[in-house]
Chain A
Amino acid sequence: MKKAAKFFHGTKPLNLSRMKFLAVVFCSIVALFAHGANIEVCPSCEIKSLRDALKVSQPFDVINIKSGVYIDHAIELTMPLTLIGEKGSVLDGGDQGEILTLHADSIIIKGLTFRNVGLSYTKDWAGISSDRVKGCRIENNTFEKTFFGIYLRKSEDCVVSGNYMDGEAEQEMTSGNGIHFWYCKNMLVENNQVLRHRDGIYFEFVKHSIVKNNLSKNNVRYGLHFMFSDNDDYLNNTFEDNGSGVAVMYSNFIKMNNNRFIENWGPSSYGLLLKEIKDGEIKGNEFYRNTTAVFGEGAMRMDISENVFTYNGWAIKLLSSCMENTVTHNDFISNSFSVFTNASRSYNSFDENFWSEYSGYDLDKDGIGDIPHLPVSLFTFIVEKCEPALLLMRSNFIGLLEIAEKAAPAITPEALVDNKPRMKPLWQ
């Protein structure tokens, strides 16, 4: 393009606007034909590896990688290219290090399988990594035993979608994250399946990004992990059987809607862990069989509404550092403990929820129980004062105490109260 401009400039003196016009026309023509050449890579072709293809490629070329296993690592993409993998095309790192590194904008990578990046304790090797690029698209690839799957640094406007990743991680120390963003903006992560990594999806200093319709399962630490990331949304994702479902830490203005947190079960597991987070929205999520569905420490002004909590150990644990949160219109069904707090006063509001353990009545039939509900049970209160008392869980003595306390509340903190308990669940 620059050459073209020079060419015009050299031959005929033109006025500036005319020249600009011509440049625009030329550019659009270039854009029309900008697919560039098609380069084929296959074990029996003239070009036998991606590295060879890159030597002859021009910007905007399309490199078709045919079926076959290509063992190579540390391949750098330095110009806008499209890489399309045929079924059965495998880039194998041979456990030697990073496979692809993106250094240019608008790179598209589709349909490839990345395998065997290898483990490093000092470097974050990844199947695909990037450094300061814009507009990359990583779609429908498969990642197997890549230490980190996709690791994008300081990049913008990228799309990561439809990828399947299995990291076969067993320990936190020896595993990497599935999708890892560091200092990124305007990213979209959708329809991916991330299995068995350290964190399924990890955001650090990532702004204005969206995570939706992903499945994050069997990860060693968190299904999704936010650190210092503001204004992000994650919607319609499923987090299943991870060390903990989602951890949102030191982040503001996060929207967490319509996700499913399932079976994040274990002695120190959480469905959703909130730490030092402000002004978020947690709406329409389903929490099923998590040890602790929502755990809040230093969470402020969160809107927790329209969620369903079923068969969790603790549905909501809010420590006394949590303030001005509103918990409304949620369904609490058959949780071992509904609400746990160690605050002597209540700084959060719990109104218009459905509690399956609620035993009040509704005389005027307006759907709201006439007697306020105290969601912190006596046993929860006892446990808060003296943790080993948990051993008496399900004992007859505790059962008797609970009945007595329900009949005439004397001990449980009255500040934490649902003044308008719903008679029927919102969902169903």
Chain B
Amino acid sequence: MGSIFKYCLFDLMRSKWAITYTLFYFVSCSALLYFSNSPSNAVASLMNIVLFITPLVSLLLGIIYFYQNRDFAELLLSQPIKRNAYFLGNYLGLSTSLVLSLLVGFGIPCIVFGTYELIEELGVLILSGVMLTLVFSGMALLLTLYNENRIKGFGYAILAWLFFAVIYDGLFLVALFWFNDYPLEKFALAATILNPMDLSRVMILLQLDLSALLGFTGASFRHFFGSYTGFFVSLGSIMLWIFVPLWALLKKGNSKDF
């Protein structure tokens, strides 16, 4: 597994995709931190970028990479290599390279332009970026395994991204309107925790002083996430989103007929 991971990581890190991705983060993060006159607003804008771009790039880059390596995978798997080791190595290679891009692209501007007061906000921001990368690169691998047809695979990836980024929130809003007459805090909390993108967004919002605008529901959220239960429940939800696709991936990988 180690050598596959290493190969995969270096292969990806040398690709122009990874370099472009890193540069994009580097430029946007530096620009926002440097030009913004309100640091908290800069973090809010960075949050939008991270929530928008990280899952999309993880999905697309993952899909492209695995479809490209399809033939190579067949070749390797004809050798005495454990399938688990191959897929896990691939997953780790992909996610590690993306996480490194994120850390470099974000970390350097944060160190250079960020102020000491922002340390917590930026920390949560980078942490949620890492989480999202881990979730969505696993999903990308899973989608390629399930779909031999590349077009279909891409389609599903885009759809998955759209679902988590936009459609889910739309449904959430409709549900809030429908059940407006009932106490909605628990429901809203559950709905937020179940979507990794929403969870990251709310976690970052609660760090920012924007959270004062969130009203009663916001206050109950702050109470919840401030408690140990809240911390472990949200961590558990993220872990589920990381490990369930990974488990499905390994299962499918073991039984798949190449």
The chain A residues found within 8 Å of chain B, CB to CB, are 265-267, 269, 291, 311, 313-314, 334, 336-337, 382, 385-400
Contacts and interface: CB of A to CB of B under 8 A. Distances in A.
B106 to A, nearest CB: 18
26 contacts: A266-B212, A269-B212, A311-B41, A314-B213, A382-B173, A385-B180, A387-B215, A387-B216, A387-B217, A388-B188, A389-B177, A390-B213, A391-B188, A391-B192, A391-B202, A392-B172, A393-B214, A394-B44, A394-B210, A395-B198, A395-B201, A396-B52, A397-B165, A397-B169, A397-B173, A400-B166
Nearest to A267: B212
Contact of A386 (B176, B198, B205): B176
B221 interface: yes
B51 to A, nearest CB: 7
- The winner among B44, B48, B173 for most chain A CB atoms within 10 A is B173
A398 B177 contact: no
B2 interface: no
Looking at chain B's contact residues, is the secondary structure mostly helix, strand, loop, or mixed?
Answer: helix
Interface string B29-58: 000000000100100100110011000000
A389 B217 CA distance: 9
B218 A291 contact: no
Nearest to A269: B212
Given A266-B212, A269-B212, A400-B166, A388 B44 contact: no
Interface in B202-239: 202, 205, 209-210, 212-219, 221
A395 B210 CA distance: 13
B41 A334 contact: yes
Interface residues on B, range: 35 or more
B49 to A, nearest CB: 11
B170 interface: yes
Nearest to B220: A388
A388 B170 contact: no
Contacts of B213: 291, 313-314, 336-337, 390, 393
Contacts of A386: 176-177, 180
A243 B97 CA distance: 48
Contacts of B44: 394
- The winner among A265, A396, A399 for most chain B CB atoms within 10 A is A396
A367 B221 CA distance: 45
A109 to B, nearest CB: 41
Contacts of B221: 391
B172 to A, nearest CB: 7
Contacts of A394: 44, 47-48, 201, 205, 210
A390 B209 contact: no
A267 B218 contact: yes
B184 interface: yes
A194 B132 CA distance: 48
Interface in B87-132: none
A265 B209 contact: yes
B71 interface: no
A246 B180 CA distance: 33
Given A334-B38, A389-B173, A399-B48, 7 more contacts: A267-B212, A267-B219, A313-B213, A390-B218, A395-B169, A395-B198, A396-B169
B34 to A, nearest CB: 18
B50 to A, nearest CB: 12
A405 to B, nearest CB: 14
Nearest to A383: B215
A414 B188 CA distance: 30
Given A311-B38, A385-B180, A392 B212 contact: no
Given A265-B209, A385-B180, A396-B166, A390 B215 contact: yes
Nearest to A268: B212
A391 B214 contact: yes
A314 B48 CA distance: 21
A170 B255 CA distance: 66
B188 A265 contact: no
A240 B201 CA distance: 30
Nearest to A312: B213
A336 B173 contact: no
B210 A393 contact: yes
A336 B210 contact: yes
A391 to B, nearest CB: 6
Contacts of A266: 212
A159 to B, nearest CB: 38
B189 to A, nearest CB: 9
A202 B128 CA distance: 47
A266 B218 CA distance: 12
B220 to A, nearest CB: 10
B212 A388 contact: no
The 9 A-B residue pairs with the shortest CB-CB distance, nearest first, are: A397-B169, A313-B213, A388-B217, A388-B184, A397-B166, A386-B180, A395-B169, A396-B165, A291-B212
Contacts of A397: 165-167, 169-170, 173
A334 B38 CA distance: 10
Contacts of B215: 267, 387, 390
B169 A392 contact: yes
B226 to A, nearest CB: 14
A265 to B, nearest CB: 6
